[in-house]
Amino acid sequence: MKRREFISTSVGGIAALKSSFSFSAESTSRQPKDIRDQFPRLENEVFLNAAGGTPLGRFAEAGMQKYLTLIREGPQAGTRDYFDTVLDEVKEKFSSLIGAQADEIGFVECTKRGEQIAIDGVGEKLDRGGNIVSNDLHFSGSLHNLEGQRRADRDVRIVKSEDFAVSAQRIVDQIDSNTALVTLSLVSNISGHIESIAEIARFAHEHGALVFADIIQAAGVVPIDVRNMGIDIAACSSYKWLFGIHGAGFLYVAKEHQGTSLPDALYPGRGIRNYPPFRIETDTEQSDIAFRAPSSASRYQPGHINYLGYCAAYEGLKFIESLGVARIQNHSVKLNRQLLDLLSNSDFEIMSTHLEQSPILTLAANNFDTLRDRLGNSGINVGIGGDKWNQIRISPAIYNSENDIDRLAEILMD
């Protein structure tokens, strides 16, 4: 097996973070059996594909059940209070996870919606010849969108990776005074590559560009501090390392960009008809339709949201909080190392470069066709295929055990 060196992210990147958030508890006493018991799917499968989406936990199901009871039967047995608590606290919890303030968090239905808000926000600069900089380790759905933007005559610069990594310098080389947006996956779903985001952001800001980070493969498993990392806008859905479900995601917009560099395109709020017969006494300070300018990241969200999904996400965030991100991250990193040790004599190329921090380990296999069949019949769930069509992506989570890795190694080495 070809082994690439374990490479650290640059200073100011993830390695340098010493988070003071509640999510950073070094270790908690929660036992592995208790954790595994939360995930019924593990009874049938060796599930090593968190990067594709984590199995539904009992805690998330219970949260959603309370919401379903509320809308089926009306408020009873505390279901309304529970729902109010979720809405009060879910942004607070997410903001604490990423080093932001609650009023910097909005809801989006998916990660790419957040990225689109960033692209639309700099639309004017783009239309004046501005450019977008990214790289090919970014999410394929985003790359497709960026290719669409390019075809719509926008200047889009996608740096090609070398050995499934891209140095900060090569991204920085593409940034100039016309750059409107740098958009990257903080942790790549392809190789687990971790961007040196702080270094890139510093340069981007010097050139007047905004930085968007897709944090779906980081939030809940790799420490994030948006402020220290220089991230202006970020987004993720909640169905991966946040233990939620599809359709309930989070948007972060730094306070200073809200309504300024990221202008308002919609104005959520309640337009009260400020005249008779709707109002007996007209408020002379207000227009006919009373208007209060939105003043938090909810300004990017048009209306009602996936309440059911946020109940799951809320419980997922509490689950993460009960463990601490450091413990969750260490667990994944340790299991990936275990696999590499077991595979050391076999025929795989390691495509991942940040194995000491990233939860994602991608291997390219020479005998992929045989392996795919063996994996298909094994009851082991890993990501398989990829653009190169011979990749196996392993992304163990806190619910996985050393035994899971032994079983995967047996199949891979058979």
Ligand X SMILES: Cc1ncc(COP(=O)(O)O)c(C=O)c1O
Residues that bind ligand X (CB under 6 A): 110-112, 139, 141, 185, 189, 214, 216-217, 237, 249
Give min distance, CB of 362 to ligand X, in A: 12
Nearer to ligand X (CB atom), residue 324 or residue 386: 386
- Secondary structure of the chain: what % helix, strand, coil (to 5)? 40, 15, 45
Give the residue at shortest CB distance from ligand X: 189
> First-to-last CA distance in the chain?
16
Residue 28 one-letter amino acid: T
Contact 193, 166 (CB under 8 A): yes
Contact 238, 316 (CB under 8 A): yes
Q: Is 37 helix (H, G, I), strand (E, B) or coil?
A: helix
Nearer to ligand X (CB atom), residue 214 or residue 232: 214
Nearer to ligand X (CB atom), residue 148 or residue 271: 148
Quick one: which of 350, 359, 373 has its CA closest to 327? 359
Nearer to ligand X (CB atom), residue 185 or residue 400: 185
> Residue 137 CB: number of other CB atoms within 10 A?
24
Nearer to ligand X (CB atom), residue 70 or residue 146: 146
Give min distance, CB of 140 to ligand X, in A: 8
- Whole-number Cα distances in Å, 44 to 28, 143, 239, 318, 382: 27, 35, 20, 25, 14
Give min distance, CB of 241 to ligand X, in A: 10
Nearer to ligand X (CB atom), residue 217 or residue 274: 217
DSSP code per residue over 350-411:
E--S-TTT-S-EEEEETTHHHHHHHHHTTTEE-EEE-TTS-EEEEB--TT--HHHHHHHHHH
Nearer to ligand X (CB atom), residue 195 or residue 274: 195
Give min distance, CB of 201 to ligand X, in A: 18
Residue 88 makes CB contacts below 8 A (sequence gap 6+) with none
Residue 266 makes CB contacts below 8 A (sequence gap 6+) with 299, 300, 302
Give min distance, CB of 143 to ligand X, in A: 10
Give min distance, CB of 400 to ligand X, in A: 19
Which letter does DSSP use for residue 161 in this model? P
Calpha distance 64→46 (Å, rounded): 25
Give min distance, CB of 111 to ligand X, in A: 3
Nearer to ligand X (CB atom), residue 249 or residue 316: 249
Give min distance, CB of 176 to ligand X, in A: 26
